[in-house]
Chain A
Amino acid sequence: MNGDLRTPLSRARGLGSAKDGLHHWWAQRLTAIALIPLVVWFAISLVMMTGAEQAVVRAWIGSPYVMVLLILTIVIGLHHGQLGMQVVIEDYVHNDGWKLALIVLVRFLAVFFGLAAVVAILRIGFGG
């Protein structure tokens, strides 16, 4: 008897959990908790700015506390979305090649759009 509960075949293959699941689970919850106040603030702000002129929107984005909250909302929101989309892809896409390609694509999109938005917010705030 030994403490290893894996089958002999599984042991020979040497593949097990990547031990990454807990981090994914925890990051999803942590970003969810952070998004509760951020999303409430953002949704109310967006509704109040319905039909606003560009100058009004820029003045809003460029004010110091909005810059911070907006960057947090977009970066944490994209991170949370990327984690969720990864789970959806892992559940429904069964071809290994497509699965990997889509997970990589979603992550690249999240980083690209997130960085573009942060640069834009900083440009507005610092008058570039």
Chain B
Amino acid sequence: MSVANRPVHRPLSPHLQVYRPQLTSVLSILHRATGIALSVGALYLATWVVCAAGNAKVYQMFQDFNGSIAGRVVLGGWLFCIFYHLLNGIRHLFWDAGYGFELKDAYRSGWIVVAVSVIATAASWIVGLRLM
């Protein structure tokens, strides 16, 4: 067997099917998922502004949806997405600047992001529901 044909045993990239989920990888994919959700949400937000400029009937349809169970779930979910993506985005900016790469630091910042986004979401839900 020539040198070129000999099988090489290089480390393979992680196969997601057999890979145990870790905080770091779960938060990473959650950043993408919330980013996609927020992109759709940005179109919804633009539509909301256009409806506010439109006639009362159109705006009422919009408000009726926002006040329905489905609307509350969507808006409440949107709030979690915004807080999570915001906080984890700040975590990413620190990495871009070269800070927080130690495994211990990555886990600590990850749990802080989870805790603060859950608290901020819960606080907004409480305030929002009281104002309804």
Q: Which residues of A contact B (CB under 8 A)?
A: 29, 32-33, 35-36, 39-40, 43, 47-48, 50-51, 54, 57-58, 61, 70, 74, 77-78, 81-82, 84-85, 88, 106, 109, 113-114, 116-117, 120-121, 123-124, 128
Chain A contacts of B67 at CB under 8 A?
51
Contact call A54/B131, Cβ cutoff below 8 A: no
Whether A116 and B50, one on each chain, are in contact in the complex, defined by CB atoms closer than 8 angstroms, is: yes
Task: Check B49 against A43 for contact (C-beta < 8 Å).
Answer: no
Q: Which residues of B contact A116 (CB under 8 A)?
A: 46, 50
- Please state if B52 and A47 are interface contacts (CB–CB under 8 Å): no
Please classify how large the interface on chain B is, using the bins under 10, 10 to 19, 20 to 34, 35 or more.
35 or more
B128→A50 contact, CB < 8 A: yes
B47 within 8 A of A: yes
A sample of 28 inter-chain contacts (CB < 8 A) reads A32-B93, A43-B82, A43-B124, A47-B79, A47-B124, A47-B128, A50-B128, A50-B129, A50-B131, A51-B67, A54-B52, A54-B56, A54-B59, A57-B52, A58-B52, A58-B53, A70-B49, A74-B45, A81-B42, A88-B35, A106-B39, A113-B46, A113-B47, A117-B46, A120-B53, A120-B54, A123-B53, A124-B52
Q: Does B114 count as interface, using CB distance less than 8 angstroms?
A: no
Please give, as numbers and ranges, the residues of chain B lying within 8 Å of A85 by CB-CB distance: 35-36, 39
What does DSSP make chain B's interface, helix, strand, loop or mixed?
A: helix
- Would you call the interface of chain A mostly helix, strand, loop, or mixed? helix
